[in-house]
Amino acid sequence: MSVEKILSDFNKKSFQPVYWLEGEEPFFIDVIVNYAEHKILSIAEAEFNLTVFYGKDADWVSVVNACRRYPMFAERQVVILKEAQQMRDIEKLESYINNPLNSTVFIISHKDKKIDGRSVFGKMLKQKTEFFSTKKLYDNQLPEWATQEIHRRKLTISERALTILVDHIGNDLSRIQNEIEKLAVNLGNRKNITEDDIENYIGVSKEFNVFEMQDAIAKKNFSKAIRIIQYFEANPKAVTIHMLLPTLYNFFSKVFMVFGINSSDEKTIAASLGINAYFIKDYIQAARNYSYAGVENILLLLHEYNLRSIGIRDQGTSDAGLLKEMVVKMIY
């Protein structure tokens, strides 16, 4: 069951008695819960027929009693249990879930972790509820997801602007969505999001960002890399070393994989790496610039400087100092 299918059913006024929403990605769970809380019932109906519990403060008896009430002046009532992972004795909801009222839509939000599917309770949930389980998107899925959100608003975005946006925010779907909303509001009558828009409305420099730093190292452009580091040093809130190093490691890990792909076809290489074909030339060029041994050295340096950045085998060198030293060892 997908988010889209559940929301589509809600729109059609087709409801199951119990929904169990769990997993590591809270964004999708929040989308469903927000719809249930604000759109299943009209404002007038919600006054008498919407009940919201929070797991930390709720007890199972109160939740079950609420679910067993009949709706007032409406076809159905909605009961929502948020943060269910914090609720004690949650397994005691089993008696109601096994025999729910059709006039109650009971939605359970169990974030951050999954119930043990091998347990009696876990097996019962999969059999008796509309069971929705979600996990974090992989980093290489973020551009496609962000693009879909942008297209949903009938907007477009340049490839570089998309990369800057996603690299700056990272794996935080809620924040990506909020920034896209901000861009949509500020575009006016325009429909295409540019690098200038990312800089003006989100505050990410189109010249001094993680993507440009990655590009400078990949192309062995030492002077550009140093200029970007100096910008980071003067603007410490723009990018931190702990944002930069994982991105570089992800990039060069894929560059390292290029050497093991027995093909020179760009589409084949892109598919093997799981990246957008638009960017594959960057990976291939980096592989040519550094060779197998050079890329291996970069990966080792990234590991070393990540340890030093958290104080292991380092006497307090500044982040900018570490980056400059690392770039010298990478490029020369």
Whether residue 1 is predicted with pLDDT greater than 80 in this model: the reply is no
Q: Could you tell me the CA-to-CA distances from 153 to 4, 181, 199, 238 in Å, in that order?
A: 16, 9, 20, 28
Residues 178-217 pLDDT 10s: 999 999 999 989 999 999 999 999 999 999 999 999 999 9
- 215 touches 247 (CB < 8 A): no
pLDDT class of 84 with cuts at 50, 70, 90: very high
The answer regarding whether domain 3-134 maps to CATH 3.90.550.10 reads no
Query: Domain limits of the chain?
Result: 3-134, 139-202, 210-331
Q: Where are the alpha helices (DSSP H) in the chain?
A: 3-11, 26-38, 43-49, 60-68, 94-98, 120-128, 142-152, 159-169, 173-186, 195-197, 210-218, 222-234, 241-258, 266-273, 280-309, 319-331
pLDDT class of 72 with cuts at 50, 70, 90: very high
What local confidence, expressed as pLDDT, does residue 210 receive? Answer: 92
What local confidence, expressed as pLDDT, does residue 82 receive? Answer: 96
What local confidence, expressed as pLDDT, does residue 12 receive? Answer: 94
The answer regarding whether domain 210-331 maps to CATH 1.20.272.10 reads yes
Strand-pair category, 77-82 with 104-111: parallel
What local confidence, expressed as pLDDT, does residue 109 receive? Answer: 96
Question: For residues 288 and 321, what is the distance between their CA atoms, to the nearest angstrom?
Answer: 28
Residue 116: how many CB atoms within 10 A of its CB? Answer: 10
List the one residue out of 1, 38, 26, 34 whose CA is nearest residue 16.
Answer: 1
Question: For residues 64 and 68, what is the distance between their CA atoms, to the nearest angstrom?
Answer: 6
Residues 123-155 pLDDT 10s: 999 999 999 999 899 888 899 999 999 999 999
pLDDT class of 168 with cuts at 50, 70, 90: confident
Q: Show the CA angle centred on residue 232, arms to residues 229 and 233, nearest 5°.
A: 85
pTM to 2 decimal places:
0.79
Residue 182: how many CB atoms within 10 A of its CB? Answer: 13
What local confidence, expressed as pLDDT, does residue 172 receive? Answer: 92
What local confidence, expressed as pLDDT, does residue 217 receive? Answer: 97
List the one residue out of 96, 172, 130 whose CA is nearest residue 22.
Answer: 130
Direct distance between the N- and C-terminal alpha carbons of the chain, in angstroms, rounded to an integer: 52
Residues 235-286 pLDDT 10s: 988 889 998 999 999 999 999 999 999 998 999 999 999 888 888 999 999 9
The mean pLDDT value of the chain amounts to 93
The answer regarding whether domain 139-202 maps to CATH 1.10.8.60 reads yes
Residue 332, judged by CB atoms within 10 A of its CB (0-12, 13-18, 19+), counts as: exposed
Q: Is 94 left (phi over 0), alpha (psi -120 to 50) or beta?
A: alpha
Whether residue 17 is predicted with pLDDT greater than 90 in this model: the reply is yes
What local confidence, expressed as pLDDT, does residue 170 receive? Answer: 86
Locus of tokens 């910008």: 231
